[in-house]
Structure 1
Amino acid sequence: MSGPTGALTLTVNKAATSTIVSIARTAQDCWFKTKDPTFAKFRLAAEVNSYVGKPRFLLVPKSNPGGLPKLVVNGETKNGKTVVNVFGPLLSTNQGQRISKDVQRWAIGNASCTPKA
């Protein structure tokens, strides 16, 4: 499963901070600890204690951690539910669909690194 995709928005019935923390931990385990070559040029920067109520994590270039993020995953509470937004240039790459599917799976609590066949 590969190919570009656009921004992703999904709604879950969990708190925003715990949802983003869970997704970030699973991304760390599945994308970075496994040394996945897709993410070798990036590092994960978690900003889950947001003062504006939108916990998030970013994928930023290892070579320029203060530069513009290549992927943003944030959550915010709306009408008692958490809306998860995923956007950034990485979604326009050939791995965009995979990234979207991973985040969708992780947002609902499935911590598997790969989808079930």
Structure 2
Amino acid sequence: MESNEIVQKIAVACDDKRAEDIIALDMKDVSLVADYFVICHGNNERQVQSIAREIKDKMDEMDIDVKRMEGFEQARWILVDIGDIVCHVFHKEERNYYNLERLWGDAEKLPLEIELKG
């Protein structure tokens, strides 16, 4: 499965747990860290954990290895490392503070299929 297809599956997993403001950034031309970032947020710690857990479960279902998950216990900013794709699941307050979209403003936004569902 191609990385951009996996990004779409991750976005759907986030949407299934009512994550807000889900975006995907194509990082290939701006960073060596990953090909894609998926960024979203939840409104409380329980929701943030639920979103991250859903991403991991969907990757497990597709036999895609989650290399590591950091920040799960605190649930303020959970990083889910899937190799070429890094998911940032924020608590709303932390997302506003760190503002990764502005930090990586040179990265192109990847259109997400969930936007078509309305």
Question: TM-score interval w.r.t. the shorter chain?
Answer: 0.3 to 0.5
Higher relative contact order (CA 8 A, sep 6+): 1
Q: TM-score, normalised by structure 1?
A: 0.35
